[in-house]
Amino acid sequence: MNILAALRQAETKLKKQADTVRKQLDAVREAMKILGRGEARKSKPIGKKKRKMSAATKAKISRATKARWAKIRAEKKKG
């Protein structure tokens, strides 16, 4: 009977721990919901949306970068 009593105690202890963890998880989910960052269960990323850059902007940045590197290479060849 000692073994059975020990198992019951262990079961009770684990149930209490599981309840505590569930309460903590619920509190975290509520906080996320209040902050407007989405729910934890959804697969959407939490945080800001990824910014999208137009093709024209990418081309402009590319031209500027290439010009900057060409200038650096030209200065390096001179001296």
Domain boundaries along the sequence of the chain: 2-40+53-78
Question: The whole model's pTM is what?
Answer: 0.40
Alpha-carbon gap, residue 30 to 52, rounded angstroms: 30
> How much is the pLDDT for 17?
93
Alpha-carbon gap, residue 74 to 79, rounded angstroms: 9
Tens-binned pLDDT, residue by residue, of the chain (79 aa): 688 888 999 999 999 999 999 999 989 888 888 887 655 555 666 667 778 899 999 999 999 999 999 999 999 988 7
